[in-house]
Amino acid sequence: MFKAIVFDLDGTLAETAGDLIGALNFVLAREGIEDVPVAAARSLLGAGGRALIQRGFARAGRPLEKDKLDALFVDFLEFYNAHIADHSFLFPGVVAALDRFAADGWRLGVCTNKMEASSHLLLGKLGVAERFAFVCGQDTFGVAKPDPKPLLETIREMGAKPERALMVGDSVTDIKTARAAGVPVIAVDFGYTDVPVTELGPDVVISHFDALYAATQGLLASAR
């Protein structure tokens, strides 16, 4: 049986666009760049804070040198961590789904391109930090998704094996990560992607966390 389940965070477990775009706009405003609307988040999020800043500058047609990016990222992260749950919330059904998997003996983990400290902070603010055996951020293993290492190392740290694990995500980044790791992947269709996840080749697509447990059982039946 699959007994380890690893979740992406932004756009999968939680709606975080408001606070991420708020932090982006904080640094953009200081550079004289017009605010990015939250409605644009789905084409900007998913690769971490540095990539978000780069995409914000690119959207405005502004160049951005590495040294400048590094300095802006420090300011972004400070602002973001101070406002990390002003507008963020768990998607409907998340808590009930986590409870069901835990009751059935599954180990739960998080593998995200958010920084590890920010991930722990957000999960704590949302009241679910203690539910996860391990939380991996972009900086935990020195490499970010879609490299498979963060996912494989997360599974190992959870005390599980890839052949008994699966991933839940919302974007092409998560799907590529899972495929590279040889792990089945379930995609939610309400996350941060500018291409419908149905076109990205996950094993299963769900529209609500109420459907997640049944989806894992369907994958188990297919594997058998």
**Order of strands across the sheet that contains 204-206:** 134-136, 107-111, 4-7, 165-169, 185-188, 204-206
Question: What distances in angstroms separate CA 220 from CA 166, 204, 214, one per listed residue?
Answer: 10, 12, 10
Do residues 116 and 140 lie in contact, with contact meaning Cβ atoms separated by under 8 Å?
A: yes
Which phi-psi region, left, alpha or beta, contains residue 105 (left: φ > 0; alpha: ψ -120 to 50)? left
| Residue 104 burial (10 A CB sphere; 0-12, 13-18, 19+) | exposed
- Told to judge if 8 belongs to the known catalytic residues of this protein, a careful annotator would answer yes
d(CA 183, CA 180): 8
- Position of tokens 């802006």? 72
Which residue out of 8, 10, 19, 170 is catalytically annotated? 8
- The residues annotated with a catalytic role in the active site are 8
